Amino acid sequence: MSTGKWISPLISVIDAIAQGELIVEGRFVDASNATLFAKCIYQENEISVIYKPIAGERPLWDFPDGNLANRELAAYLLSEALELHLVPFTIVRDGPFGPGMVQEWIEIDESIDVVELSNSDSPRIRALTLFDAIINNTDRKYGHILPTSDGRIFGCDHGVTFHEDPKLRTVLWHLSGVEFSTSELELLKRAQIVSASVVEGLITETESAALLDRIERLLEAGSYPEPSDEWPAVPWPPF
């Protein structure tokens, strides 16, 4: 399966993904929900994307409200609002199988040991760890951490986020109890101000209130959260 992309410098990734013709080329058979590899063709340019049609989402007993696509969009918008840029460009748009989440495909650097990276003190890993605590990510696996050859790190698969109950499940626990830096505390304060408006209409009002409560509790604690003994702390399988 080809994953390369070519795009004219005059055409932005946003334009291509938002307006291009969405053509499905394959399916990831191991995914629990319909997850399709596709290309967006726009003005003779093409860009690789992931397309997750809402119609292909499997019902979840603990996420009964709304759809997973909106949660993926909320995670992207919040990452951008906080200037973290941790989530690839994401929108909800129509496609061959109806409306769904469409996200820029990220080419990873396969020479990087993602387990070793994930247990490092990399600023991007710290940012991703804090971001997951904010959005209450229930499924941060190693396979959802995407390092690139230019030193960036992205996270993907944010459909099961923003639950009103504490459900943080992640492979990123090595920072537990570590005090937040000054810049991280400032980020949390900024999140207090912008989060509710950013996710409005994408998650429930109860979940939005819980989001603000999580941010407040993180500020009060002043340190990265520690695993709870009330639910599984690490998703399975971890990759």
pLDDT of residue 63: 87
* Averaged confidence pLDDT in the chain: 92
Please indicate whether residue 182 or residue 8 has the higher confidence score (pLDDT).
182
Q: Is the pLDDT of residue 10 over 80?
A: no
pLDDT of residue 66: 83
Q: Is the pLDDT of residue 103 over 80?
A: yes
Q: Write out the DSSP string of the chain.
A: -----B--TTS-HHHHHHHSEEEEEEE-TT-SS--EEEEEEETTEEEEEEEEEGGGPPP-TT--SS-HHHHHHHHHHHHHHTT---S--EEEE--TTSSEEEEE-----TTS-HHHHHTS--HHHHHHHHHHHHHT-S-B-GGGEEE-TTS-EEE---SS---SS----BS--TTTTPBPPHHHHHHHHHHHHHHHHHHBTTB-HHHHHHHHHHHHHHHHH-B-----SSS-SS-SS--
For the beta carbon of residue 223, count every other beta carbon within 10 angstroms.
13
Domains of the chain: 13-221 (1.10.510)
pLDDT of residue 8: 41
Q: Is the pLDDT of residue 11 over 70?
A: no
Instruction: Answer yes or no: are the C-beta atoms of 26 and 1 closer than 8 Å.
Output: yes
pLDDT of residue 174: 97
- Mind listing the pLDDT tens digit for each residue in 31-46? 778 999 999 999 888 9
pLDDT of residue 131: 98
- Mind listing the pLDDT tens digit for each residue in 47-86? 999 999 999 998 888 888 888 999 999 999 999 999 999 9
> For residue 83, what are its two tokens?
């200037």
- Mind listing the pLDDT tens digit for each residue in 129-166? 999 999 999 999 999 999 999 999 999 999 999 999 99
Write down the pTM of the prediction. 0.93
